[in-house]
Structure 1
Amino acid sequence: MPHADLDRTRLQSLLDREQAQFAAEHPRSVQLAERASHALLHGVPMPWMAKWASGTPVFLAEARGARVTDVDGVEYVDVALGDTGSMPGHSPAPTVEAIISRAQDRGGITTMMPTEDAIAVGEELGRRFGVPAWQFALSATDANRFALRMCRQVQQRSKILIFLHCYHGTVDETVASLDADGNVVSRPGNVGPAVDPALTTKVVPFNDLDAVRAALAPRDVAVVIAEPAMTNVGMVLPEDGFLKGLEEACAETGTLLIYDETHTMSTGLGGCVRAWGLHPDAVTLGKALAAGVPIGAYGFTAELRDRIHNDLVGDYLDWGGVGGTLAGNALSLAAARATLEQVLNEEAYTSMSMTCHRYVAGVREVFAKHGAPWHIVALGARAEFGYTPEPHRSGADALESIDPLLDDLIHAALLNRGVMLTPFHNMALMGPTTTIEDVDRVVGALDAVVGEIFSAV
């Protein structure tokens, strides 16, 4: 862990102060947290919501655009945006209008019937990501799960390959790691794994082409699933030639390749696939597609689509392990169509990238001003800072540099200064309605926090 030179006792004292301030200024959130502890497991409706560094969850009252207001009436500049789920901004007007029209004017939120909206979304995703055959789920986790199953089925190979410390939702096969001897094991803390992941998964470091080639050489891997840039353990960008080499290694060994663009669609209209000229067999998406309405999507090339159509063994249309009663529902697809056509368009991405560029420049100035030997990495509208001078090369490097105490202190202190950073890591995301003034407020708050951390060094 970096920064062994920092006074940990002092950092803890600063965190205690920030948490006490939050509790004093947020009595309603504290009250609701106590009530929730008797009704909800872990006191929250979904476990990750318990990870607020403020000492108690921030209970939501309302959210619009790039602003969130909690139940105590405190307003925040929101650069978490629902951990990407609200990348289009909170409740963008075109999406809200489509939701109201679908639910109220036309009715039929879920009917087990396709809608024209579904076709329009599939066509638009095909134009953006270059793969023509799409289906929908309720989350990126399910999109990944369904895509992996179909790839294993047509390949008739049993294993998948992932990158060390990757994140693809809660798909069982991807919650795997390596032990000190390089053996595939379950990730620490994995809750009730169904099987030993060594039976289903190979794990290699990101940016290590030799390891990729060695793992694929036996030709027992059906499919590689990868984010084009790792985003959930800090941000790890691919080195020059790595993704090209990955695609070549897959082609040489008859291995399929899925790019999970759930987070990296921050890069632009067609994510990294379009921006970097990538050539996957499948693309998976989720979260931001419908501006917060639950959805996931998975798309296949024409060749993979035809292989699935020609497979007479797998039951793709009934009980074979793909799909769900609420997947592809009319409400989700109406919201996704409006979001893609009217919110996350070329103009929006240009604006989002510009505000992110200003944020990155401001954060670098803050680090230089206070002598913080830290870095920040950007991917379109998304940026993340880490506690090392240089960006991380692998997931292991990124994991080693995580400092939970520093994270908690920074996040709690930013909340007390009216800034909401993603609670799980140091990611900031700029939406279409994020303004220059919003960015400057975030940078100003970070300036105060980093200045206090390094004032005694």
Structure 2
Amino acid sequence: MSTQINRQHLKELRAKEEQRFLDTHKKSAAAFEDSKKVMHEGVPMSWMAKWPGSHPVFVKEAKGARFTDVDGHTYVDFCLGDTGSMTGHSPDATVAAIREQVGKGITAMLPTEDAAIVSGLLKERFGLPLWQFTVSATDANRHVIRYSRMITGRSKIVVIDRCYHGSVDETFATIDDAGFTVKREGNIGAPVDLAETTRVVEFNDLAAMEKALAHGDVAAILMEPAMTNIGIVLPQDGYLVGVQELAKKYGTYLIIDETHTISVGPGGMTKALGLKPDFLTIGKALAAGIPTGTFGMTQEIADAIKKMVELEIIDLGGIGGTLAGNALSLAAMKATLTEVLTEANFERMIALGNLWCDGIDAAIKEFDLDWHCNRLGARGEYIFKGKQPVTGKEAADSGDFELEQYIHLRLLNDGYLITPFHNMALMCPDTTEADVDGHTAAFRTMCAELVNG
């Protein structure tokens, strides 16, 4: 029988870490109090207040794989802006390109030569021939959903249970106990009944996917090739190819969102597995943190759009935005794609990701914990169930909020930041073996104290 966590001991350990956090983050506490006077919940976005600890850590500066807070503490950053800084903070090549472009213009609603260069780089990486640009991956997902509905004349979108694709209304749905699509818990101000727009199916369930598509009213399937935002859930053999085949069979477009799964390599899982989506969306890491998004499409889709969109009303179509494809973000993307997110850097990052997971696996085994560590290229994550999840629901059920809050705070106090809301780490080109080894030692010590109570 595996080791059981003593919950009273866990509460005592959590209280100890809460006090350690308060004692060592007084300037962040003061900054938080001042911020509450002018910002809702004291932060630019409400989720920034939901990190463990009585207040957020306020960042002073960040570079490479580290950041420093206003109290002078330096941390090894395994969160990396939840992929937005997968390049490392402020990589030199991207910073140089940004500085040069800022002096030449930031946005003008007109193309620069960088736009075609970046599109060519994306075509080479992901295989899709034609590209458009947005301000975020969320916008990219919204736009391709609109295009899919326009071309097919269908209303429904299929998404995966417990997925996340940014703040796209159609994706905040789940399945109830009776198998019906309902709004997901915490869905703020849902504009319409989610059953009107969406069907939800479990990941790795081809039969459920076919049942959802067989109604003949599904415009598009929007999915990650591996789930990442409820925990890492890997596709079973044949699943993604099966989804592709079903999409073709039922005249539905397949949208692959590679925003997080690019952790497996320069062309994400699309390139690694030879996938052939109709649309591909991605954002975040491509410009090293400068807000951007992009979507690729097939020639067939581009031709259909051209036939159906009238020039006279193009600015009223709900596609695009005045800052989309701006000169600054394209310059940042060109530098990032050519000099930072390279084959050589991915090789290092993936090796370090495996090293990080090896350290987690060793501690789990040493202390006989009923936990499991999943791997996705340069990314790793541990869950509190002893086997790899197959569906989003299984991943969600493997969570343990009380335990996660303690571990996150303990590691933060020890100088290591991991992704909030689950237990994920990402390597960047500046991450070192020493960074990973230090985290392994801290994680092992935490486990030892946790089980010996």
Report the equivalent of 1:59.
58
TM-score, with structure 1 as normaliser = 0.97
- After superposition, residues 407-426 of structure 1 pair within 5 angstroms as 407-426=404-423
**What is the CA distance between 1:351 and its match in structure 2?**
0.7
Inter-partner Cα distance in structure 2 for 1:261 and 1:315: 33
**What is the CA distance between 1:314 and its match in structure 2?**
9.1
Q: Does 1:176 pair with 2:173?
A: yes
Report the equivalent of 1:41.
40
Work out whether residues 371 and 454 of structure 1, in 8 Å CA contact, stay in contact via their aligned partners in 2: no
Distance 1:316 1:239, change over 3 A: farther
Inter-partner Cα distance in structure 1 for 2:385 and 2:215: 37
Report the equivalent of 1:134.
131
Inter-partner Cα distance in structure 1 for 2:207 and 2:170: 22
Q: Does 1:124 pair with 2:121?
A: yes
Inter-partner Cα distance in structure 1 for 2:243 and 2:102: 44
One-letter code aligned to 1:36: S
Report the equivalent of 1:110.
107
Residues matched between the structures, number = 452
Q: State the secondary structure of the residue aligned to 1:384.
A: strand
Q: State the secondary structure of the residue aligned to 1:317.
A: helix
Inter-partner Cα distance in structure 2 for 1:402 and 1:37: 30
**What is the CA distance between 1:6 and its match in structure 2?**
2.4
Deviation string, structure 1 residues 168-205 (Cα, Å, up to 9, x no partner) = 01100101111111111111111101111100000011
Distance 1:4 1:48, change over 3 A: farther
Deviation string, structure 1 residues 17-46 (Cα, Å, up to 9, x no partner) = 111101110110011111111211111101
Inter-partner Cα distance in structure 1 for 2:225 and 2:171: 16
Inter-partner Cα distance in structure 2 for 1:197 and 1:87: 33
Work out whether residues 3 and 369 of structure 2, in 8 Å CA contact, stay in contact via their aligned partners in 1: no
Q: State the secondary structure of the residue aligned to 2:316.
A: coil
Inter-partner Cα distance in structure 2 for 1:20 and 1:302: 59
Q: CA RMSD in A?
A: 1.3
Inter-partner Cα distance in structure 2 for 1:246 and 1:97: 42
Aligned match for 2:248, one of 245, 248, 251 = 251
Inter-partner Cα distance in structure 1 for 2:398 and 2:68: 32
Q: Does 1:436 pair with 2:433?
A: yes
Work out whether residues 68 and 77 of structure 1, in 8 Å CA contact, stay in contact via their aligned partners in 2: yes
**What is the CA distance between 1:55 and its match in structure 2?**
2.1
Q: State the secondary structure of the residue aligned to 2:138.
A: helix
Inter-partner Cα distance in structure 2 for 1:313 and 1:329: 24
- After superposition, residues 368-387 of structure 1 pair within 5 angstroms as 368-387=365-384
Q: State the secondary structure of the residue aligned to 1:318.
A: helix
Report the equivalent of 2:218.
221
Q: What stretches of structure 1 of length at least 5 have no aligned partner? A: none
Q: What stretches of structure 2 of length at least 5 have no aligned partner? A: none
Report the equivalent of 2:284.
287
Deviation string, structure 1 residues 411-436 (Cα, Å, up to 9, x no partner) = 00001111011122111000011111
Report the equivalent of 2:29.
30
TM-score, with structure 2 as normaliser = 0.98
**What is the CA distance between 1:126 and its match in structure 2?**
0.6
Deviant stretches of 4+, over 6 Å: none
Work out whether residues 167 and 174 of structure 1, in 8 Å CA contact, stay in contact via their aligned partners in 2: yes
Q: State the secondary structure of the residue aligned to 1:258.
A: strand
One-letter code aligned to 1:392: P
Report the equivalent of 1:367.
364
Work out whether residues 111 and 330 of structure 1, in 8 Å CA contact, stay in contact via their aligned partners in 2: yes
